[in-house]
Amino acid sequence: MAAGGEHGTKAVVAALTGNLGIAAAKIVGFLITRSASLLAEAVHSIADSGNQALLLVGNKQARQEATESHQFGYARARYFWSFVVALVLFELGAVFAIYEGIHKIEHPAQVENLPVALVILGIAIGLESWSFRTGIGESRPLKGDMSWWRFIRASRTPELPVVLLEDFGALFGLAIAFSALALSELTGDPVWDGIGTVAIGVLLGVIATVLVVEMKSLLLGEGASPEDMAKIRTAIQTTPGVTKLIHLRTQHLGPEELLVAAKLAFDTSMSAEQIAAVINTVEVNVREQVPYAKPMYVEVGVFGPDPDPVTGP
């Protein structure tokens, strides 16, 4: 499954816009209330803003022209920066929140101006909901009939899983912060503020772990989705002149660029010129079904026992 970079960019810009406003509001709220939960959420939003800035950097770098040293281009820059976002910023945000929460549990302090904190959290929930809806809207055309969890696991467009999980985590974290402050007020025990802060840190850590695993897989190089593999095989096998698809390998060079390598057996009565014409037809047929199948390399082979049954026809 490939996805247009424009979809991911729109979602990232919307998330960045929302998070900058949210971060400013939370910082003001912390300065007024001294709430650890609000501080953790402010750091969370600052980290989110940094995340989106890095995603935009990766998107820009990915559009660089191929060079002699990078002959397949720089499309994987989007995977690299998405991995950095998950590994560094999310994890740092999680570690900070857990540390701050433990400190507040050990040394609880009463939250000041609770109504101000709750109003700020309410504003943040509204802005974050707008960002989350934008991400969902950008993802729906690419998601199709898949569940959201499967889309996050299967998407080759790194920005969308990052933004979706980031916004989901932010909304959940805001709900935790709101509940922690309310419990602190109702019980008169400020330790709930620290507990809420730790919970926010754990939430960030879980999201970071999921994203690290997914981005690592993309960075190492994932093949085409099963659906697209089936389309490529069918396009090759139904091309007149092709007698056998001996083996097929694919790898994403980027979200909109799929390297396709195939070894094919041809009708032995054909001349070299005829085989070359059939190969050209194979490439056209494959790209009609999977437009982002580029570059594509076809090797002429003689059919025999497949040495690699995993990638066989």
Q: What is the pLDDT of residue 7?
A: 52
As a whole number of angstroms, the distance between CA 212 and CA 224 comes to 20
Q: What is the pLDDT of residue 8?
A: 59
Q: What is the pLDDT of residue 309?
A: 45
Q: What is the pLDDT of residue 150?
A: 86
> Three-class SS of residue 68?
coil
Q: What is the pLDDT of residue 166?
A: 80
Q: What is the pLDDT of residue 6?
A: 52
313 residues of the chain, pLDDT tens digit each: 444 445 557 777 777 777 788 788 878 888 887 777 777 777 777 777 877 888 888 888 888 888 888 888 888 888 888 888 877 767 777 888 888 889 888 888 777 777 887 888 888 888 888 888 888 888 888 787 888 888 888 888 888 888 888 888 888 888 888 888 888 888 888 888 889 889 988 988 888 888 888 888 888 888 998 899 999 999 999 999 999 999 999 999 888 889 999 999 998 889 999 999 999 999 999 999 999 998 999 999 876 555 554 445 4
> Three-class SS of residue 300?
strand
* Range 239-242, long-range pairs (CB < 8 A, 24+ positions): 239/278, 239/281, 239/282, 239/285, 240/278, 240/281, 241/266, 241/267, 241/270, 241/274, 241/275, 241/278, 241/281, 242/266, 242/278, 242/282
Cβ neighbourhood burial of 8 (10 Å; 0-12, 13-18, 19+): buried
Which tokens is 260 given?
A: 């396709």
Is pTM, for the whole model, over 0.85? no
For 28, 33, 145, 176, 202, the CA distances from 48, given in Å and listed in that order, are 17, 22, 29, 17, 16
**Which residue segments constitute the domains of the chain, with CATH numbers given?**
5-220 (1.20.1510.10), 226-311 (3.30.70.1350)
Q: What is the pLDDT of residue 126?
A: 84
Query: Cβ distance 5 to 256 under 8 Å?
Result: yes
Residues in contact with 81: Cβ distance below 8 Å, sequence separation at least 6, in sequence order: 54, 55, 57, 58, 61
For 70, 116, 134, 277, the CA distances from 272, given in Å and listed in that order, are 32, 78, 53, 9
Closest by CA position to 58, among listed 170, 206, 157, 205: 157
Which tokens is 98 given?
A: 């857990």
Which tokens is 60 given?
A: 């820009």
Closest by CA position to 299, among listed 252, 257, 249: 249
Q: What is the pLDDT of residue 229?
A: 95
